[in-house]
Structure 1
Amino acid sequence: MDQLLVLRDAAIAMALGGVIGFERELKNRPAGFRTHMLVAGAAALLIGVGQLVVDDPRLHGSGGNRLTIDPLRLVEAVVAGVAFIGAGTIFGRRGSEVVVGITTAAAILMVAVIGVMVGFRYHLLAGASTALTLVVLTVIAWAEKRMSLNQGK
């Protein structure tokens, strides 16, 4: 039963990550729908499996010692893994001061954190964070673009 809850949480995380990834896909960014889904799902699974391992009686010591973990270590593992993916989405052009992909890398980090929230079963916080991320990626980006067009007139 606990494994089904972890699987459910991974599906929720993937759906939330997919919403953000879909926005990136529409803008033809380096990482899109599938990447964001997989990152969010993997983060939720890592947290969920960590919790299952702690509760697994097969892994307790012979004297009844309970296995313990620091939940922040699981979060650190997610962030370290996402750092490699995020770095791969950032591209700089030689001889140019233009750097491309930073927003997508930040979105990948955000979906990883959303996956962590879902893994810890903070579903409301994860949903609200997804909505806030979409506001940043769409509404604020639209406003910035509009302001730059008005300044060019």
Structure 2
Amino acid sequence: MKCREPRLKSCCCCLDLRAGCFFLAMFEIFASALGFFVAEDSRILLLGRTAYMLHFIGSVFLMTSIFVQIEALVVIYMVTNVVHLIFCTVFLIEYATYSSFCALETVPAFFTLTLSIYFWLVAFSYWRRLQWEHNPEFDE
């Protein structure tokens, strides 16, 4: 008996996965651009901004994959999303402990990190759908 990973059939219960990936890529591009300007001087500031920059590039790749339907571009987004989740979580923890904790800056970053988990699941489901569209026999 095979264990199947969770797959979504739609984004936000009302959008097709392709359209949902388009809107989430636009949101992630905007959120990553804002992430460049978060925080003051910090030991991990460069790390956090690098993670946002990588995630920005991954989101652009996801946007591109919607139009050209290349599976590898979705995989790049998913990898950069995991890197974004790891490094920005470390950045937020470091920022909260060593700097003056500012809710105005950390709450939006925490909100986008929480949404990134759901966005990763949507992108993963879209990637699985692309694999199936290119090879209908592919159904692990």
TM-score, normalised with respect to structure 1: 0.33
TM-score, normalised with respect to structure 2: 0.35
Larger Rg belongs to: 1
